Amino acid sequence: MNSFKVFLKLSLSLVFVLPHISFAYCENTAPDKVDEKKISQYYGEAFEVKSPVNIKDALKKFSKYSNTPIQMSASVKTVCQNKGCWMALGSDSESIRVRFKDYGFFVPISLVGNDIVVNGTLERKLVSKELLQHFKEDEKATEDEISAITTDQYEYTFTASGVFVQTNQ
């Protein structure tokens, strides 16, 4: 009889604890996809979109916009395929890597090709060879593409506190 009570207590505690553990795990993965039924969506902190600077203008006038809070509009070029924990905006010739403030939120992997507005700060940083290779791994690049990165490189980066996605109806 005593072992039955122990079994019952363990079973009941698992019933109440497991849902909380699985819920916490789900919070650390990328949202499934952009909800095409919505007209617009936010990831991270919501913000009022006010005259965002186009990515081309932000790069042309980098000294004006560097290290100051701005809103920037661009098209999503690629997204981390593991978690959605970073994205690249623009084109091959004009690209900015966006990371999310305090690793506090992620974006859907399906965001590629969408027009967005990011709210945050623009910088130019020296990125280590190892981190650049890690980003390539996140893109599911080939071993040849990854091993082609042999040095640290300067890169435009944007730390976003929020992302606004305008979806098509």
- pLDDT band, residue 13 (cuts 50/70/90): very low
Q: Is residue 17 part of a domain?
A: no
Q: Is residue 67 part of a domain?
A: yes
- Domain extent, residue 124, equals 30-166
Q: How many domains does the chain have?
A: 1
Q: Is residue 6 part of a domain?
A: no
Contacts of 43 (CB under 8 A, 6+ apart): 31, 105, 106, 107, 162, 163, 165
Mean pLDDT of 20-41: 48
The pLDDT score that the predictor gives to residue 91 is 78
Q: Is residue 66 part of a domain?
A: yes
Q: Is residue 56 part of a domain?
A: yes
Mean pLDDT of 12-35: 42
- pLDDT band, residue 93 (cuts 50/70/90): confident
Q: Is residue 149 part of a domain?
A: yes
- pLDDT band, residue 38 (cuts 50/70/90): low
